[in-house]
Amino acid sequence: MSDNTTTDQNQSAGADTPEQPRVYAALVHFPTIDRRKMAVATSVTTLDVHDIARSSRTYGIKRYYVVTPIEPQHWIVKRIIEHWESEWGQLYNPNRGDALGTVELIADIAAVAESIREREGEYPVIVATSARHYPNTITFRNLRKQMHAPGAPPYLLIFGTGWGLHPELVCECDLTLQPIDGPTPYNHLSVRSAAAICFDRLLAPEF
């Protein structure tokens, strides 16, 4: 047991550290669909903001955009960020403030793409997530290879709230990530769980 542990440590210490892929994430509240497949704008929830921010910080997501055109919802997100970045919030839980430092509030996906272009000097490859297969679906394995390739462009992963991203938005994206499948037919993950799984499959060290 101790020999194996020593070997693992030596391998880890001597391994080259690859360049971190340039990956961004966006949580979209419009355009999304409801259970009747009608276009709707969903409400921002504090859990989504907090938990996806923590996952983003863990996996090296460069920026986590909360996307909503609804002005009253902007106040909620700003209040959350200001609270945890305040002196009191930093003293109470500095890790939470650190995670929320990745969050940016923005009105639509076009503005997200422009924000990334300003940061990176080029537009991102936009990858939708969905529980359905689309003609432009890519596997986790192949997307991971593309993201980690030398000279890879920035990537933007977009996640939908409600009953998912509107199909028109999905079809406008460059790629759609394959659905997350488990060992059962049940396929109704929360967006927070889906984001964490996607980040892990695409960005975690292989094991």
What is d(CA 101, CA 161) in angstroms, rounded to the nearest whole number?
22
Residue 4: its pLDDT value, please?
47
Compute the Cα dihedral for 127, 113, 23, 121 and give only its sign.
positive
Q: Residue 149: phi, psi to the nearest 5?
A: -70, 145
Of the candidates 150, 183, 177, 153, which has an alpha carbon nearest to the alpha carbon of residue 164?
Answer: 177
Angle CA 155–158–164, to nearest 5? 155
32-33/175-177 β-pairing: unpaired
Q: Cβ(115)–Cβ(17) under 8 Å?
A: no
Structure tokens at 190: 């929360």
Q: Cβ(19)–Cβ(62) under 8 Å?
A: no
Per-residue pLDDT of the chain (207 residues; tens, 9 = 90+): 444 444 444 444 444 445 789 999 999 999 999 999 999 999 999 999 999 999 999 999 999 999 999 999 999 889 888 888 888 878 888 888 889 999 999 999 999 999 999 999 999 999 999 999 999 999 999 999 999 999 999 999 999 999 999 999 999 999 999 999 999 999 889 999 999 999 999 999 975
Q: b/e map of 170-179 (b: 16 or more CB within 10 Å)? A: beebebbbbe
Amino acid at 9: Q
State the DSSP H helix or E strand holding residue 23, giving kind and residue range, or none if neither: strand 23-28
Provide the CATH topology of domain 20-70+101-203.
Alpha/beta knot (3.40.1280)
Residue written as token pair 């986590």: 64
What is d(CA 27, CA 105) in angstroms, rounded to the nearest whole number?
10
Of the candidates 185, 183, 73, 168, which has an alpha carbon nearest to the alpha carbon of residue 130?
Answer: 168
What is d(CA 167, CA 123) in angstroms, rounded to the nearest whole number?
22
What is d(CA 82, CA 165) in angstroms, rounded to the nearest whole number?
28
Structure tokens at 126: 């936009």
